[in-house]
Structure 1
Amino acid sequence: MNEAMDALEARAHRQLERLRDLADRMTAVRVRETSTDGAVTTVVDGNGALVDLELSGKIAELSPAEFEQTLVSTAASAARRAFAERGALVTDFNEEAAEDHK
């Protein structure tokens, strides 16, 4: 019985470490995206929240509506990539967990 408890405890510790690793990796997700014209660069985190914004001198060539469209589309593209990256992390985690249960 002691061996079974030791094995169960070891498995629980491995799962906890994998969960912590997943949380750390998801927190670390950052995606940088630059508009095709180079006017706007955005950086978003794994939740799609804007964490950095860089504007080049090219924004002077844009109308307010063009600037708005460029900013929103660039940030949205970065967010889609960040969500895909997080999704891949979760998929990898789930596949490892499934292998551990075999």
Structure 2
Amino acid sequence: MDELEERVKRQLYRFQDLAEQMAAVRGRETSEDGAVMAEVDGNGALQDLQFSHAVSRMSPEEFERVVVATAAAAAREAFTRRAEVVDRFNEEMSG
């Protein structure tokens, strides 16, 4: 019984670690020209968006394109990191 209880506790701690690691996942990207920086969480939700003075030289269309592209790149990075966290967790659980 003690062995079963210990195994359940270890698994619970692993799930807690997974939840903490997932909550900490971030993706951050800066546009090539440095005009836009976007940061998203592991779900792809925008957490931070910053602009340099370079945006003042952009047309509205350019601005929109750069913001969307930069945020999308940050989301791809966050999703990659999230997948890595899940893969490590799955390896630990199967091992």
- TM-score interval, smaller chain: over 0.9
Q: Deviations over 1:23-61 (max 9, x none)?
A: 001101122110001100011111110000100000011
- Runs of 4+ residues deviating >3 angstroms: none
Other-structure match for 1:59: 55
- State TM-score, norm by structure 2: 0.97
Aligned length: 95
Give the partner amino acid of 2:53.
Answer: G
Identity of aligned residues (%): 57
The answer on 1:33 being equivalent to 2:29 is yes
Q: Which runs of 5+ in 1 are unaligned?
A: none
Other-structure match for 1:24: 20
- State TM-score, norm by structure 1: 0.91
Classify the secondary structure of the residue corresponding to 1:48. Answer: coil
Tell me if the contact between 2:27 and 2:76 (Cα under 8 Å) persists in the aligned partners.
Answer: no
